[in-house]
Structure 1
Amino acid sequence: MYMGKVVGSVVSSQKDTSLIGRKLMIVRQVDSNGDPMNREEVAADTVGAGIGEYVLMVRGAGARHSLDGDSSRRDVMDAAIVGIIDRFDK
């Protein structure tokens, strides 16, 4: 799991059927101070995050397990937003 900031969204009219109905967001990885790092990626939003919000993300099998659907379904999702960060306490 890692932290990121939603910096935009992606609109795709042609995509795999497992992505239909999913909001795709562009997320920039951040450190524990909320400062941006050099990596951006597209993630499926499972919690209703918006642009400008800090989020928790998972990749790989963790992203696929974040879905509440049928586990036998073929999902191509490799990154998912699974939480919205309220604050950073250090």
Structure 2
Amino acid sequence: MFLARVTGSIVSTQKVESMKGHKLLIVEPYRLDTDSRERLITTGRTFIAVDTLGAGEGDLVLICQGSSARLTPETKTLPIDAVITGIIDSVHVEKKSVYCRNEEG
């Protein structure tokens, strides 16, 4: 699992039948800044993930990737590699808050 920020969405009018009705979002993985350990920074990569929770642009989310992405009841029959399994409220590292959803501007 990893953290990612939702940066956009994908519209695909033609796709395999099992994918119809599933929302696709562009997510950008984040990691802990190893220098300060007080903030999250982007990895510079992007992925497409199936959204099962109603996440939106700007949300920090929890992603499962690989075969684990197909272990939820909503995704067990889908040909996917990444799924949003949580919307993050806060992240704490060494008793410090490095992210709080309520404080995002």
Provide the TM-score with structure 2 as the length reference. Answer: 0.76
Q: Gaps spanning 5+ residues in structure 1: where?
A: none
Higher relative contact order (CA 8 A, sep 6+): 1
RMSD: 1.4
Q: Partner of 1:89: helix, strand, or coil?
A: strand
- The answer as to whether partners of 1:7 and 1:52 remain within 8 angstroms in 2 is yes
Detail structure 1 runs of 4+ shifted over 3 Å in the superposition.
none
Task: Give the Cα separation in 2 of the matches to 1:2 and 1:35.
Answer: 13
Highest CA radius of gyration, 1 or 2? 2
Task: Give the Cα separation in 2 of the matches to 1:23 and 1:67.
Answer: 16
Task: Give the Cα separation in 1 of the matches to 2:40 and 2:51.
Answer: 19
Aligned position for 1:89: 92
Aligned position for 1:34: 40
Q: Gaps spanning 5+ residues in structure 2: where?
A: 33-38, 94-105
Aligned position for 1:78: 81
Aligned-pair identity (%)? 39
